[in-house]
């Protein structure tokens, strides 16, 4: 039995930016996991599973989960939008996604 690999800081950033791309940077956009996975593939290698990193972003408060009848959709929170904008504008500085949103 293999232990699941933890998400690195680079993987968390890639999934957050993929969510930002999939929602077009909107706080009102609800997108399914497939849309985020499709956008994440350009930032990460094929072996990385973005759903694990997305769950971590949900737990930290950067992304919100919405269960619906058909499938679960995801949207950026205000803190996630701020983090994504900061990552996009300051490419040389690292944004710390390991801390909880608002902490």
User: What pLDDT score was predicted for residue 58?
Assistant: 92
pLDDT of residue 46: 60
Q: What is the domain-level CATH number for residue 80?
A: 1.10.10.10
In a domain, 47, yes or no: yes
How many domains, the chain?
1
Q: What is the mean pLDDT of the chain?
A: 83
pTM, 2 dp: 0.85
The reply to whether 101 falls in a domain is: no
What ranges make up the beta strands (E) of the chain? 31-32, 63-67, 72-76
| C-beta separation of 1 from 60 below 8 A | no
| pLDDT (0 to 100) of residue 1 | 43
Domain span at residue 56?
9-89
């Amino acid at each position: 039995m293999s232990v699941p690999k933890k998400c690195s800081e680079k993987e968390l950033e890639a999934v957050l930016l993929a969510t930002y791309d999939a929602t077009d940077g909107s706080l009102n956009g609800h997108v399914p996991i497939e849309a985020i996975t499709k956008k994440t593939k350009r930032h990460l290698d094929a072996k990385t599973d973005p759903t694990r990193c997305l769950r971590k972003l949900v737990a930290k408060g950067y992304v919100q989960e919405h269960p619906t009848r058909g499938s679960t959709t995801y949207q950026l929170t205000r803190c996630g939008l701020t983090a994504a904008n900061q990552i996009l504008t300051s490419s040389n500085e690292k944004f710390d996604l390991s801390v909880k949103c608002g902490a």
